[in-house]
Amino acid sequence: MSYFSPDYFTARSRWRSVVSRLGYRLESHEIDAVSPINEPLTIDVALLGNPLAHKTMVISSGLHGVEGLFGSAVQLALLEQHLANEQLPSDVAIVMIHTLNPFGCAWYRRWNEDNIDLNRNFLVADEIYQGCPPAYPQLDSFLNPQSPPSKLEPFLAKSLGLIGRYGMSTLKNTLPVGQYQFPHGLFFGGNARSQTNKILTAHLRRWLGLAQQVLHLDLHSGLGKWGTYQLFAELTSDSPRHQWLSQYFDHERILTLDPGDLVYQSRGTFGHWCQASFPDLTYDFLLAEFGTYSMLRVLKALRNENRAHWWGQPEHKSYQWSKQELLEVFVPQSQKWRRMVLQQGVDLCLTGIKLVES
Ligand SMILES: [Zn+2]
């Protein structure tokens, strides 16, 4: 039986029924947004293990909507294959968060109900929801055309033209970095804190209970080599925390904030916010990113789906194929890919549990 579900509601109901069957504490936080069917959109949280534990592993999925169908599968497999039969160590608890962006997952979008990329929405302290990378306004008309997508468009030629004109490095430091100025555009970080941000601000501390030490694994897909993963850590390689993480995790797969490692510097990341919000705890955050297709194919899919969302008609073919392609680039249908990432995803969770216990 596959752990991958075809849609958000199936994923949510399977996950919730396993959590309930295993007797774990479960809470649901509803998002106020339009649902595609007559069912609420919720962020669901399971609290596993000793509620008085001092060491906690957080395993979260679906910050980027549609990617939640991958993260959910890993969480479900971990529950069914391991946590159903094996006791957690006595001083370890797990906070499992299912689908941080239920709207995006339900509608096959990466963005949330306000078109927000949630991994750009977690600004801290005195940061403000304004501004954008210098080249973004010039790229807006290419990135966010105000028309439905078309298969006839010469996307590749246009992209290569832009790469020639601006250079790959400028594009990498412009597109995915996060912008706070174009609310219909790609990689929009929001004008204010999102609903997901507020729910985490209100409850994450309580879910962590008495934890002194937290290891957080946030599951993502869509960047990197097919079927393999990288771990993005919010630290530099000379940090003692890097050494600690490298004891159990493959250090070659840990990407740090060192200039040589950094793919691009984003604002408002969830990981940075988690670490900044709990300065009294030892809080390690790893964003696990599983690769699928080339960056250009993923960008093309994001751009088409965003056009269909804002300017297309749901009954139109271009709306349907753009949603389907978005799902494919983040959660490929390939059984081989699914087997590979599921195994590695579950292994990462088990490694994390061992490491946090050590
Ligand atoms: Zn992601």
pLDDT digits (tens, 9 = 90+) for 52-64: 999 999 999 999 9
The alpha carbon of 339 and the centre of ligand 1 are apart by a number of angstroms equal to 19
User: Quick one: pLDDT band at residue 264, thresholds 50, 70, 90?
Assistant: low
The alpha carbon of 341 and the centre of ligand 1 are apart by a number of angstroms equal to 14
The alpha carbon of 71 and the centre of ligand 1 are apart by a number of angstroms equal to 10
- CB 214, CB 280: distance < 8 Å: no
The alpha carbon of 73 and the centre of ligand 1 are apart by a number of angstroms equal to 15
> How far lies 193's CA from each of 42, 122, 276, 291, 295, in Å?
17, 7, 16, 29, 28
* pLDDT value of residue 91: 94
The alpha carbon of 188 and the centre of ligand 1 are apart by a number of angstroms equal to 14
The alpha carbon of 222 and the centre of ligand 1 are apart by a number of angstroms equal to 7
* pLDDT value of residue 104: 98
The alpha carbon of 52 and the centre of ligand 1 are apart by a number of angstroms equal to 31
- CB 278, CB 213: distance < 8 Å: no
The alpha carbon of 64 and the centre of ligand 1 are apart by a number of angstroms equal to 5
The alpha carbon of 105 and the centre of ligand 1 are apart by a number of angstroms equal to 12
d(CA 268, CA 163): 26
The alpha carbon of 330 and the centre of ligand 1 are apart by a number of angstroms equal to 9
3-state SS of the chain is CCCCCCCHHHHHHHHHHHHHHCCCEEEEEEECCCCCCCCCEEEEEEEEECCCCCEEEEEEECCCHHHHHHHHHHHHHHHHHHHCCCCCCCCEEEEEEECCCHHHHHCCCCCCCCCCCHHHCCCCCCCCCCCCCCCHHHHHHHHCCCCCCCCCCCHHHHHHHHHHHHCHHHHHCCCCCCECCCCCCCCECCCCCCHHHHHHHHHHHHHHCCCCEEEEEEEEEEEEEECCEEEEECCCCCCHHHHHHHHHCCHHHEECCCCCCCCCCCCCCHHHHHHHHCCCCEEEEEEEEEECCCHHHHHHHHHHHHHHHHHCCCCCHHHHHHHHHHHHHHCCCCHHHHHHHHHHHHHHHHHHHHHHHC
The alpha carbon of 288 and the centre of ligand 1 are apart by a number of angstroms equal to 9
Whether the pLDDT of residue 285 is over 70: the answer is: yes
pLDDT in tens, 74-118: 999 999 999 988 889 999 999 999 999 999 999 999 999 999 999
Whether the pLDDT of residue 263 is over 80: the answer is: no
Domain 8-124+192-287+327-357 class in CATH: alpha beta
User: Quick one: pLDDT band at residue 262, thresholds 50, 70, 90?
Assistant: low
The alpha carbon of 166 and the centre of ligand 1 are apart by a number of angstroms equal to 25
Whether the pLDDT of residue 1 is over 70: the answer is: no
User: Quick one: pLDDT band at residue 177, thresholds 50, 70, 90?
Assistant: confident
The alpha carbon of 62 and the centre of ligand 1 are apart by a number of angstroms equal to 7
Between 111-120, 156-165, 210-219, 311-320, the lowest mean confidence (pLDDT) is in 156-165
The alpha carbon of 86 and the centre of ligand 1 are apart by a number of angstroms equal to 30
The alpha carbon of 63 and the centre of ligand 1 are apart by a number of angstroms equal to 6
The alpha carbon of 300 and the centre of ligand 1 are apart by a number of angstroms equal to 16
Which among 36, 54, 15 has a CA at the least distance from the CA of 211?
A: 54
CB burial class (10 A; 0-12, 13-18, 19+) of residue 36?
A: middle
Give the residue-averaged pLDDT of 117-142. 92
Domain coordinates in residue numbering, the chain = 8-124+192-287+327-357, 136-186+297-322
Give the residue-averaged pLDDT of 189-203. 97
Whether the pLDDT of residue 167 is over 80: the answer is: yes
* pLDDT value of residue 200: 98
Which residues is 217 bridged to in the sheet? 59, 286
Whether the pLDDT of residue 172 is over 90: the answer is: no
The alpha carbon of 67 and the centre of ligand 1 are apart by a number of angstroms equal to 6
The alpha carbon of 149 and the centre of ligand 1 are apart by a number of angstroms equal to 23
Give the residue-averaged pLDDT of 231-236. 93
The alpha carbon of 91 and the centre of ligand 1 are apart by a number of angstroms equal to 30
| CB-based neighbours (< 5 A) of ligand 1, an ion | 64, 67, 220
Whether the pLDDT of residue 274 is over 80: the answer is: yes
- Kindly report the average pLDDT of the chain as a whole number: 95
Predicted TM-score of the model (pTM): 0.96
The alpha carbon of 289 and the centre of ligand 1 are apart by a number of angstroms equal to 7
Structure tokens at 272: 């940075």
Helix crossing, 317-330 with 68-78: angle to 10°? 40
> How far lies 247's CA from each of 242, 270, 277, 351, 357, in Å?
9, 24, 26, 10, 13
User: What percent of the chain is predicted at pLDDT more than 90?
Assistant: 85
